A and B are shown apart, each in its own frame.
Chain A
Amino acid sequence: MSFIKRFPKGLLFGVFILALFLLPVFFPNPARIGMFISCGVASVLAMGWLLILRIGCLSLGQVAFLGIGGYASAILSQKLGISPWCGLLFGGVAAGLIALGIGLVFLRIRGLYLAIITFAFAEIVRLVVSTLEFFGGHGGILDIPKYPSLRLPGWGIVNFDSPFSCYYILLLIVLGSGIFMWRMDHSALGRTFKSLPQNEDLAESLGVHPLRYKIFSFVTACFFAGVVGAFTAHYYGCLYPGSYTAHHSVIVQIQATVGGPVSVAFGGLLGGSLMVMIETFLLNVDARWVFIFYGTVIILITFFLPDGLLSVPREVLKYWSQIKKEDGVIASR
């Protein structure tokens, strides 16, 4: 079983990235590509959720930042005529700034209270956008400008009017946030994050400023959620408050837990993509199965694989070495 350890992970990763870039070639069906786009959106949200879990906080309001990014970008491009390409950045910055503001105040609170606070914040955001006329009220915002065509050197003029071309925009966002969070997770910063939930007081006594690191993780996660939110606003061309309810935050949590906190980037990617694919399939059968499916999956995962699907190789290795050890004991008798 040691081949798992010896396997060239870099090669595997390269093939994986290549496969992601070639997906539209294998699946020339626009509906399929639409599904992959939903997968990407869910993946970035799940990654953010896992990054926040690293610092020991449970966020029940990730979709709020998706909404903030989307609304910020949509309003900037509609009212001020800012290009959607800059809107992607502005959406992220808006979500990040708001995350910084509420993080400075609320990340001091520990435990389950923080989960409830994030939920209350998400509901405030949803209620604000659904009651104020400035944000379009219950009907949401329609006719958001789509991505203008770009002149790329060597490619000529590229139009972004089909799901296929938009898929590549999203792919770049997912890869960017994934690599960023992966690097963050595997650096000294990531190790500091991991120390916080274990013993915050001890970490503080060793010179770690808990609030600073918590805010760093929280703002990063929310920034990328905002970028993806801005992407969806310009991709779908409309926004409405009903897609940012507490129910959606719960779904983010389930997707992230299915992927597992073993690795922030890959856990989010695996959990988000897999769950959205199955969900799309179930929606074609009967929407009511989606509830039962999500509920059953999260119960099974917490009981049998508490560290998510990514921990399967580790568990198998552990099981294998245990069997070997027992064999050795028998042989030595």
Chain B
Amino acid sequence: MTELIQVFLNSLVLSANYILLALGLTLIFGILRTLNFAHGSFYICGAYVVYALAKVAGVNYFLASVAAMIIVGGLGVLVEATVLYPLANKVKVASLGAILGVSMVLEGVLAFIFQGEDVTIGSFFTGTVSVGGATLSVERIMVVVLCGVIMLALYQWIQKTRQGTAIRALAENPKVANLQGINTRLIRYLVMAIASCVAAFAGAIVTPLFYINPYMGGGVVFKALLIVAVGGMGSVEGSILAGLLIGFVECIGVTYLGPIAEIISFLLVVVIFLFRPRGLMGVEYEFH
């Protein structure tokens, strides 16, 4: 029983990490119609800003997290303005290639600044609580709670506000949305800023549990892309569902079966694609 609770919490932490990234990616896909390979780099940038401010410069952790979100959000807007928007009407391969380039440049720059070694941010919430006989660290619980709050806020924003409605309209049919007077340019910036902020938040809040190094962005973003695809590209609910599914399968598998479990989660993805080629909750999108 105690082990089950532990595994459950660990699965939730992993799922929260995946979902936060996948949410940004799926929003970006819905509006910008591209796979944002630089998302993982934004995540690592967020983690390194917190590392630089909180660990090296000694700023308060929460202030550092907010600073990370602002800086990385700005970075996202910059990338959108300089790289993605000019390529918006070209073939898909062009924007994909360019965004891959952005992510590689960011990784290279981070490697130059931070020497490319593994560092830890360190724990900010200390102590443990015991639930039903299992000892759980406060840090992990806080991560799950904060991620849940962000997730809910984002979901409410998309479902309930005017801007959220505009985003959903644009994702569904850009031409008709434009005819209704929705400012595509502004929404693109907004989505990119929000998605980057959420990625930075994920980096700031989740990475204290792990080691960080400048090159880990690629692996993280590919996992998140898989989740977005499994959930159905552009679907927010699908991403949350798929994130939970993959997170739990992976964590439970690793605990009971060892490293072979990673194969299982990838095989699961392939099987899902076999039966639902557009993902769990996918909608039909037009591709170039």
Residue ranges of A at the interface with B (Cβ–Cβ < 8 Å): 53, 58, 105-106, 108-113, 115-117, 119-121, 123-124, 127-128, 131-132, 246-247, 250, 253-254, 257, 288-299, 301-303, 306
Contacts and interface: CB of A to CB of B under 8 A. Distances in A.
A32 to B, nearest CB: 26
A116 B98 contact: no
A105 B274 contact: yes
Contact of A246 (B222, B229, B273): B222
Contacts of A123: 222, 266
Given A112-B92, A128-B263, A131-B260, A291 B104 contact: yes
A250 B108 CA distance: 15
B274 A295 contact: no
Interface in B78-133: 83, 86-87, 90-98, 100-109, 111-112, 116
Interface in B269-288: 269-270, 273-274, 277-279, 285, 287
Given A112-B233, A294-B104, A299-B105, A120 B226 contact: yes
Nearest to B278: A113
- What are the nearest 9 A-B pairs in CB distance? A291-B108, A295-B104, A295-B105, A292-B108, A111-B287, A298-B101, A299-B101, A295-B101, A116-B229
B112 A288 contact: yes
B200 interface: no
Interface of B: 35, 37, 83, 86-87, 90-98, 100-109, 111-112, 116, 218-219, 222, 225-226, 229, 233, 259-260, 262-263, 266-267, 269-270, 273-274, 277-279, 285, 287
A40 B201 CA distance: 43
A290 to B, nearest CB: 8
B96 A58 contact: yes
Nearest to A291: B108
Contact of A124 (B111, B112, B266, B274): B266
Nearest to A102: B270
B101 A127 contact: no
Given A108-B277, A120-B266, A291 B111 contact: yes
A246 B96 contact: no
Nearest to A111: B287
Nearest to B262: A127
B100 A253 contact: yes
23 contacts: A58-B96, A105-B274, A106-B273, A111-B92, A111-B287, A116-B229, A119-B222, A123-B266, A250-B37, A253-B100, A254-B101, A288-B111, A288-B112, A288-B116, A291-B107, A291-B108, A292-B109, A295-B104, A295-B108, A298-B100, A298-B101, A302-B98, A306-B94
Per DSSP, are chain A's interface residues mostly helix, strand or loop, or mixed?
helix
Contacts of A299: 83, 97-98, 101-102, 105
Nearest to B109: A292
A289 B108 contact: yes
B93 A58 contact: yes
A293 B109 CA distance: 11
A117 to B, nearest CB: 6
B168 to A, nearest CB: 20
A128 B266 CA distance: 11
A109 B101 contact: no
Given A302-B94, A306-B94, A246 B218 contact: yes
A131 B97 contact: no
Contacts of A111: 92, 285, 287
A131 B259 contact: yes
Given A131-B263, A291-B111, A253 B97 contact: yes
A306 B262 contact: no
B226 A116 contact: yes
B105 A292 contact: yes
Contacts of A110: 287
A298 B277 contact: no
B93 A254 contact: no
Contacts of B86: 303
Contacts of B35: 112, 115-116
A119 B222 CA distance: 8
B218 A247 contact: yes
A113 B277 contact: yes
A79 B196 CA distance: 50
Contacts of B219: 246
A298 B97 contact: yes
B101 A302 contact: yes
B255 to A, nearest CB: 16
B100 A250 contact: yes
Contact of A298 (B98, B269, B287): B98
